[in-house]
Amino acid sequence: IHGEAMHLHEHSKFALAHGAKQSVDVDNGTVFRITETKIETLGHIKAGKLAIDGNFILASNSNILKMRRKLMSDGAVIITLIFDSKSRILKPPTIIAPGVLDADEDDDIVSNMRDEIYNHFLSSKKCGTSEIRKYIESTVRRMIKFEVGKTPEIISQIEWL
């Protein structure tokens, strides 16, 4: 038996309406013995919830579904930066923010973010990928929290030429 509580209740009503002599509403993890004459509750087991995701069945608390819930509520900011082998930034970063900022209406926020990040790396000393990511995450988190009150997923793509 599967479904949400409402579905399970309807399954029970359906069974009774179509000739079943007994039916029970069930909870996740309840174990029953069903014979021709009775339905008996044997006990409860620990049971989790599963979700269908495309061709896969995942635990409802899987990292994939946690991320999807985060994206749904707070969106994402994706920043692409290109550096040369001497750690010099080659051009202003590309920033997209689905679910956070509107590309047309919030251009000033995106421009401010782009300028702050670009100017920082124009004047900074040589640094590695982890330092770049740390700076990007703290800067974007601070600016987005101030401007729109969200804490989006921040994805930084760093290319080295």
The letter for the amino acid at 102 is D
Whether the Cβ atoms of residue 107 and residue 134 lie closer than 8 Å to each other: no
Q: Which residue has the higher pLDDT, 4 or 59?
A: 59
The mean pLDDT value of the chain amounts to 91
The total of other beta-carbon atoms located within 10 Å of residue 129's CB is 13
- In the block, tokens 């409860």 appear at 44
pLDDT at 106 over 60: yes
Residue 153: both structure tokens together: 């997923």
pLDDT at 40 over 60: yes
Chain segment 84-103, per-residue pLDDT in tens = 998 899 999 999 999 999 98
pLDDT of residue 138: 96
| Structure confidence at residue 1 as a pLDDT band (50, 70, 90) | low
DSSP 72-141: HHH-EEEEEEEE-TTS-B-SPPEEE-TTT--TTTTHHHHHHHHHHHHHHHHHS----HHHHHHHHHHHHH
